Structure 1
C-alpha cells in the first residue's frame, strides 16, 4: 500500500472541499462531486517532494513550507487538542488517517506554471535525483511524464485563476 496524493485545481476552497472523503480522481455526480482536473501520484507529498520540484521550477532554494500548504480538511479548528481527545477519536476519524485536503500557495502554482516546455526534461531529471527518489529508477520516463502533468495542471490553474489543492489518503 502507500500514501496517495491527488493534485487538482478548483475555483475556491468551497469547491475544493466538496465530498472530502472521496477521491478527486473518481468524480461521481450521484455523490455530488464535480469532475476535477487531477494528477494522481503516490508518495509525492506537497511539502517535501513536491516542494523540491517547486524549488527547482522557480530556481529558488528549497525550504520546508515553500508551497505554504493550508490544511482545509479535516477542519483544523475542530482537531483534538489533547491526548485524551485524540484517544477518544473513532477509528475512522479523518484526523487519524485522512483523507485530508490542503491548499497550495499561488506562488507554488506560479513557479510550476512558469516552467518553459524546453526546460521540462532537465527539470524532471533534476527532480528524479532527489534523495526521496534514490530507491527508484526512471527507465520508463515516468518522471518526465509526471513533471509535465504537474506543470500542465499548474498552468491550467493559473490560466483559470484557480489554486492547486492536494487530496491525500493513506
Structure 2
C-alpha cells in the first residue's frame, strides 16, 4: 500500500477544514477546479522525503523532526496510545492534513535557482531516492520550491494532504 501526498498553500487551517467539508467534493489539488494551488507529489511524505529535501537545501544531515508539522485534519481529538481505535476512526483511515512550519516554507522559498541542481543532487543520494537521477526529481523539487515562493509571497502556509 502506497502513501499519496499533495502539497498546497492556504491562508489558514480553517480554510483547509472548510474545503475538506465541501459537499461539492472538489479536489484539494489538481484536476478540475481544485480548492488550492498545489503540487501532486505521490509518496513524498513530509517528515522523511520532504525533510531530506529541506536537509539537502540547508546542507545539514536529515534528522527526525526537521520538518515540523501540526495536524489539521481530522478535526477530532487524536487518540492516545492506549485508546481503543475503531475501524472507521478517521485517525486510522485518513486522509490526514498537516500544516508545515513556516521554516519549511521559507527554506524552500529562499533557495536560489542556481543552487537547486546541487541541492537536488544531494537529495537523490538519500536511500529513498538513490535509484533516481537528478533529472527524475528536479522537476518535482522545482514545483515545490515555486509553490513555497507563492505561499510566502501571499502570506500563506504550506499544507500536506496524506492518504493511504
Q: Does the residue aligned with 1:131 lie in a helix, a strand or coil? A: coil
Shift of the 84–124 alpha-carbon distance from structure 1 to 2, 3 Å rule, reads: closer
Counterpart residue number, 1:117:
113
Q: Does the residue aligned with 2:160 lie in a helix, a strand or coil? A: strand
Determine if the alignment matches structure 1 residue 138 to structure 2 residue 133.
yes
Name the CA distance, whole Å, in 2 between partners of 1:128 and 1:100: 27
Encode CA deviations 1:141-167: one digit per residue, 9 max, x unaligned.
231101100111111111111110000
Alpha-carbon deviation of 1:28? 6.6
Counterpart residue number, 1:55:
55
Alpha-carbon deviation of 1:79? 2.6
Unaligned runs of 5+ residues in structure 2 are none
What is the aligned-residue RMSD (CA, Å)? 2.2
CA contact (8 A) 2:6 2:40 kept: yes
Name the CA distance, whole Å, in 2 between partners of 1:54 and 1:161: 20
Name the CA distance, whole Å, in 1 between partners of 2:81 and 2:124: 40
Encode CA deviations 1:34-76: one digit per residue, 9 max, x unaligned.
631111112211011101111221233422111211111113x
Determine if the alignment matches structure 1 residue 128 to structure 2 residue 124.
yes
Aligned length, in residue pairs: 160
Name the CA distance, whole Å, in 2 between partners of 1:45 and 1:114: 21
Name the CA distance, whole Å, in 1 between partners of 2:38 and 2:49: 18
Counterpart residue number, 1:43:
43
Instruction: Compute the TM-score of the two structures, normalised by the length of structure 2.
Output: 0.86
Q: Does the residue aligned with 2:20 lie in a helix, a strand or coil? A: coil
Name the CA distance, whole Å, in 2 between partners of 1:117 and 1:81: 43
Instruction: Compute the TM-score of the two structures, normalised by the length of structure 1.
Output: 0.83
Name the CA distance, whole Å, in 1 between partners of 2:109 and 2:154: 12
CA contact (8 A) 2:71 2:98 kept: yes
Q: Show the 5 A alignment for 1:15-164.
A: 15-20=15-20, 23-26=27-30, 35-75=35-75, 78-81=77-80, 83=82, 85-86=84-85, 89=86, 91-134=87-130, 136-138=131-133, 141-164=135-158
Alpha-carbon deviation of 1:27? 6.6
